[in-house]
Amino acid sequence: MTPFFRVLSALVLGLALLATTGCDPQRISELQPGVSTETDVRERFGEPENVWNTDAGVRTFEYNRQPAGQVNYMIDLGADGKLIAVRQVLTPENFAKVQPGMPLDTVRRMLGKAAKVAPYPLKNETHVQWRFANARNEPQVFTVVQGPGAMVLRTETGPDLDAPEFKGGK
């Protein structure tokens, strides 16, 4: 593929991602707890990245906006198929719940699919990262350092050095 077509493909993909995430607030505002149905959710958001089921009959649809976005949504539907809540899960409150010794599967269920997974075999660690914006709307990365057995060793939060602001953009 020629460099021109690579750039063109990247531009089209970037615009598609921007169009998808830019409409999320409007899509969310069109949904009403207790009224909207699974069909309404799927019409506005499409197929979920994952569906999580609970023993109580609640189903959670994951709508991932990583790696380019800074949000992940979990949409809860009751056993009756009606909307319970729409949650943006990449928040300091959720990050604080991630503790050493926790299985990474539990973290994945809490935060959705990560933006990036970087293995460090010599350290026997894997860094799993989610992009988000802090209260000042600055791009940040929440990192879970996973050790043997897919367990959380520690967490880290810092600037998102891959964001356009840090690469000469903005």
Domain ranges of the chain: 28-88, 92-167
61 within 8 A of 77, measured Cβ to Cβ: yes
Q: Specify the long-range contacts of residues 50-55, CB closer than 8 Å, at least 24 apart.
A: 50/112, 50/113, 52/109
Q: What is the mean pLDDT of the chain?
A: 86
- Cα torsion angle, 60, 61, 67, 69, sign: negative
- Residue 135 Ramachandran class (φ > 0 left, ψ -120 to 50 alpha, else beta): alpha
16-34, pLDDT tens digit by residue?
333 444 588 888 888 999 9
The one-letter amino acid at 135: A
Whether domain 92-167 has CATH 3.30.360.30: no
The three-state secondary structure class of 75 is strand
The CA distance from 30 to 94, in Å, is 25
Q: What percent of the chain has pLDDT over 70?
A: 84
76-125, pLDDT tens digit by residue?
999 999 999 999 999 999 999 999 999 999 999 999 999 999 999 999 99
For 14, the token pair is 């970037």
55-68, pLDDT tens digit by residue?
899 999 999 999 98
For 10, the enclosing helix (H) or strand (E) is helix 3-22
52 within 8 A of 4, measured Cβ to Cβ: no
